[in-house]
Chain A
């Protein structure tokens, strides 16, 4: 099949990127009208980072970890503690005061995010030693356990002077500009793509396919698993930090198991092993919840009130859709494929050839 010239694909990508930035700038400019859509887009960008980080682990290395919420909590609390303005700290920590060394500690947002990621990565490094020896579901349950332990420590009264215990942290300054979320998320995802495409990334994929074969090809199993885990934790931490800045106030309940499940379902929806799938999935998941909001409102057709429509119905529909994807469309939206211009081109060509009847299909195509 004919493929596109490389130059054209670059041009198309640049065009798409420029168009996306233009749209975002336009929305940012008319913020009063688009505030709601912008906040959906911001949230999906933040979730996308966490989803791609999970995909790096689950889809590309074959390690099923359920510790996302815990690592996000580490990132979120680091960023929150370092960025809350010093003047407002006494009012945030009004219950038991703030610990001495932290009272004056501040960092600019970028440094706080980086530090949040590094702390998460460091913890991942230590947790990795014991848990990465475990296989499939035991690994999942052990990481889930660690995530709950992290949460318990954050909520513990002994750490009241650091994390403000169960009262949570408030008055976190938001992002200085709306575009910054997309910029940081884009950068994080780009870096993860670089990792996946590097020789290390290929080693990860070899481990996913067959551990024994990979080992006999000279790939250090534990070293590479550890590396994938630490990298994933790093970016999960950053996305947690961004979530804290986005939400402006956090507490330990934000990082319950439900958050991990949300990210897992994003990855499943987008396709386990597809980065563009995860990005698409996080948008669909975040936006889908909002789109389905009309299910929550009472609906009256021709004077008759439709019985099922009331609060909570949308989440039922939403989980039914997810179950349908899990059961009948296990590959998710993208499978293990990536979005590529060549894929679209091939798709269009096929459309052209089969003039008679067009088959509904999805974008995407060639494995890069």
Chain B
């Protein structure tokens, strides 16, 4: 493999990894607080893709993006309110089944509203511009993604470490009941967590679908599961862990595809998950309990 091709694939991998990382943060934050694998997160990501298609069809991008952002956040909060809030005191298995149910519902809803055929993702101006650096060519989105991901991660960590809301989140993830006794409005904190998760899922979907070009009702399932694996890999509950996990999976997958084993790229993700769960269930960054959100 020549160095140019290698560089090209690395760039693609990092870009995919960035999108994964943003989605993985949503999983890790929700798991940190509710101890719930939010199976619907991948479908919120998919819905964000659809919202964007329709918004871009009728408005310029600078209105469409904030609008879709708000819509996605509202969807995330609505899912939490409807499907998870009534089950706060229920056994964990029930909440998980409810999450699977929501995921099923969102997929069927998308099939109903937008048909099962893949729809083209709109081109957002500037993002698709092809840049040439030496022999390597990449679209702008590929180059922006990792930087945006890292910037957002730092912003989020700052939010968690230095704001009142962040402090509340840390408290709730540490001990749910005690923090309630200390006067933290748990429901508000959980809603905020879902809002942040959905916001990042939207940005992830923007980056992911711009590269992938099409959206269909099940396009959230597999990326969703992979991002959960990324969160476990990095240590569930840890935000830097989720980001690192996202990048590892993205690069690993791209390398496998480049080597011609594209059928195993999904299996690779799950193999990593299983190996990780067996040898280091806390993940790469799992020990730092202070990072838990």
Chain A residues with Cβ below 8 Å from B86 are: 327-328
Q: Knowing A137-B92, A312-B115, A327-B83 are in contact, say whether A130-B37 is a contact too (CB < 8 A).
A: no
B197 to chain A, nearest CB (A): 17
Q: Chain A: interface residue count, which band?
A: 35 or more
Chain A residues with Cβ below 8 Å from B271 are: 145, 149
The answer to whether A141 and B104 touch across the interface, beta carbons within 8 angstroms, is no
Q: Chain B residue with minimal CB distance to A317?
A: B108
The answer to whether A312 and B108 touch across the interface, beta carbons within 8 angstroms, is yes
Q: Chain B residue with minimal CB distance to A295?
A: B112
The answer to whether A156 and B83 touch across the interface, beta carbons within 8 angstroms, is no
Contact with A along B22-43 (1 / 0, CB 8 A): 0000000000000111000000
Distance in angstroms between the alpha carbons of A25 and B115 in the assembled complex: 40
Chain A residues with Cβ below 8 Å from B289 are: none
Q: Which residues between 102 and 131 of chain B lie within 8 Å of chain A, taking CB atoms? A: 102-105, 108-109, 111-113, 115-116
Q: Chain B residue with minimal CB distance to A310?
A: B112
Chain B residues with Cβ below 8 Å from A322 are: 101, 104-105
Q: Chain A residue with minimal CB distance to B102?
A: A323
Distance in angstroms between the alpha carbons of A137 and B31 in the assembled complex: 11
B26 to chain A, nearest CB (A): 16
- Asked if A318 CB lies within 8 Å of chain B CBs, one says yes
Q: Chain B: interface residue count, which band?
A: 35 or more
The answer to whether A319 and B270 touch across the interface, beta carbons within 8 angstroms, is no
What secondary structure prevails in chain B residues at the interface with A? Answer: helix
- Asked if B98 CB lies within 8 Å of chain A CBs, one says yes
Partner of A142, one of B82, B264, B277: B277
- Asked if A333 CB lies within 8 Å of chain B CBs, one says no
The answer to whether A130 and B100 touch across the interface, beta carbons within 8 angstroms, is no
- Asked if A193 CB lies within 8 Å of chain B CBs, one says no
Chain A residues with Cβ below 8 Å from B83 are: 323, 327
- Asked if B207 CB lies within 8 Å of chain A CBs, one says no
The answer to whether B274 and A137 touch across the interface, beta carbons within 8 angstroms, is no
Chain B residues with Cβ below 8 Å from A96 are: none
Partner of B87, one of A146, A264, A327: A327
The answer to whether A264 and B274 touch across the interface, beta carbons within 8 angstroms, is no
Q: Which residues between 115 and 167 of chain A lie within 8 Å of chain B, taking CB atoms? A: 130-131, 133-134, 136-138, 140-142, 144-146, 148-149, 152-153, 155-157
> Residues of B with Cβ closer than 8 Å to A?
35-37, 82-83, 86-87, 90, 92-94, 96-98, 100-105, 108-109, 111-113, 115-116, 221, 225, 228-229, 232, 263-264, 266-267, 269-271, 273-274, 277-278, 281
Known: A141-B37, A145-B270. 14 other contacts (CB 8 A): A131-B277, A137-B35, A141-B229, A148-B266, A149-B270, A152-B264, A156-B264, A264-B100, A268-B97, A310-B112, A312-B112, A322-B104, A323-B98, A327-B98
* 7 A-B residue pairings within 8 Å (CB atoms): A137-B96, A148-B225, A148-B270, A319-B104, A320-B105, A322-B101, A327-B83
